[in-house]
Amino acid sequence: MAPVAIWVDGLGKQYRIGERRVRHANLRDALSSALSARWRRTRDWLAGQAAGIGGADETIWALRDVSLAIEHGEVVGIIGRNGAGKSTLLKILSRITEPTTGAADLYGRVGSLLEVGTGFHPELTGRENIYLNGAILGMRRYEIDRKFDEIVGFSEVERFIETPVKHYSSGMHLRLAFAVAAHLEPEILLIDEVLAVGDAAFQRKCLGKMGSVARQGRTVLFVSHNMGAITQLCNRAYWIADGQIKLSGPAAQVVAAYLAEGTADQAVWRSPASAPAGQDAQLTSVRVLDAGGQPAAIINFDSPFRVEIGYDVLAPVRDLSVTFHLFDAQENIVFEAMDTDLPEWKGRVRQPGHYQAVCEVPPRLLKPGRYSLSLVAFIERVKIIERQGHIVTFDVSEVGYELNPGRLGVVAPVLPWTVTPPADGGGRV
């Protein structure tokens, strides 16, 4: 077993919310405030409330009883919804805040990127902040000199390196902050949602650099809402919910469980008995299936998948079409597909009963990212029967994605090409 890089035992962090404690101007105000607080506690006790319950209303546990161990050289993801406690954990590990209970130890030099611009002095230039951060990490000047050009080149802020960082945009802050954190040779790298800001090309560049850092045997703890990045980059993952670890294990399994909790890959919501009187048809279910026919919340870029729609026809109906709209994370419609795209169903009368329509989506088509499905049932040129908006979500991971990260377009199809060389073989230089 490799030596432990990060060790956390029974970690808890409590924050006070609600009424703020104020500094009193004189002794009389301080005594009055103390007596009022004592009276409120006595009132609660006489009313039958447990002692201290008033204080409970003013505090919240951002983390509670969190324990984990990460070995040197591991790349581990932390996932969970907003407010689950992920960032609080990284702030404790970075020594920005102290835990209320428990302990956390890190064995090695730590570099962290928790928020855009964290660790930068706004009045100092980009160059000065690079040297400042290196000094904080305990690096000698000649070590920082050796990495300086690589940091600036990666960040792509050469023109502004002598400008105070208070004038940087959020994207420039991110570029330089990540470059500093990743290139100054920390043994442990803590990263909180670095992919939330920046263009797609830079996000992919960051992923590549984190993978490079991991291959060098350094430890990476990565917090992100990008499930594709987590599955691509991380060996293991922890799912934090309500300040506690809900699940840990192989990254792909933890991500699948996290996404499935919200029925991300399938939805069943209707029975024929619930249909309004006189309705011709009713949508009942939709599922995203992988190549093996199993419900899947994550689809690899180079794998096909299916969209399966269930619906009930309640009375004979002609020209019924069931369609889905595929949306990307920016609410763009990627494409629309109808079950009447099959010529044999166009214009036919559908008899009452339960139907399943399955659409095959080819591999190497959708860019990595999050997508959602909306359903529509309608009678062509007559009426819309039913709409179900954004009822299912799923992710396309970057597994198998070898295209230029800056490729334009909503989709990224890998199309067949034929290139015919000149008769002489095209060997001239």
Dihedral sign, CA of 396, 397, 402, 406? positive
DSSP state of 401: -
Query: Taking the complete model, does pTM exceed 0.85, yes or no?
Result: no
Cβ-proximal residues to 3 (8 Å cutoff; 6+ apart), any chain: 71, 72, 107
CATH 2.70.50.60 is right for the domain spanning 267-397: yes
pLDDT at position 54 is: 45
Residues 277, 198: Cα–Cα separation, whole Å = 51
Residues 279, 265: Cα–Cα separation, whole Å = 27
Which tokens belong to 69? 């161990």
DSSP state of 158: G
DSSP state of 163: S
Domain with CATH 2.70.50.60 in the chain: 267-397
**381-392 burial, b if ≥16 CB within 10 A, otherwise e?**
eeeebbebeebb
pLDDT tens digits for range 283-328: 998 999 988 888 888 888 999 999 999 999 999 999 899 999 998 8
Is residue 255 a contact partner of residue 227, using CB atoms and an 8 Å limit? yes
Q: Which residues does the chain have with pLDDT short of 70? A: 1-2, 17-58, 82, 115-119, 193-201, 203-204, 228, 259-266, 269-278, 405-406, 425-429
Instruction: Name which of 180, 184, 175 is nearest 116 in CA terms.
Output: 175
Residues 114, 92: Cα–Cα separation, whole Å = 11
Domain with CATH 3.40.50.300 in the chain: 4-19+37-260
- Sheet strands side by side (includes 353-361): 266-268, 281-289, 305-313, 353-361
Is residue 288 a contact partner of residue 266, using CB atoms and an 8 Å limit? yes
What single-letter amino acid sits at 417?
W
User: 3-class DSSP state for residue 288?
Assistant: strand
Taking the domain 4-19+37-260, which CATH number applies? 3.40.50.300
How many residues are present in the chain? 429
| E-strand stretches of 251-368 | 266-268, 281-289, 298-300, 305-313, 317-318, 320-328, 333-338, 349-350, 353-361
pLDDT at position 410 is: 81
Residues 363, 384: Cα–Cα separation, whole Å = 31
Residues 152, 180: Cα–Cα separation, whole Å = 9
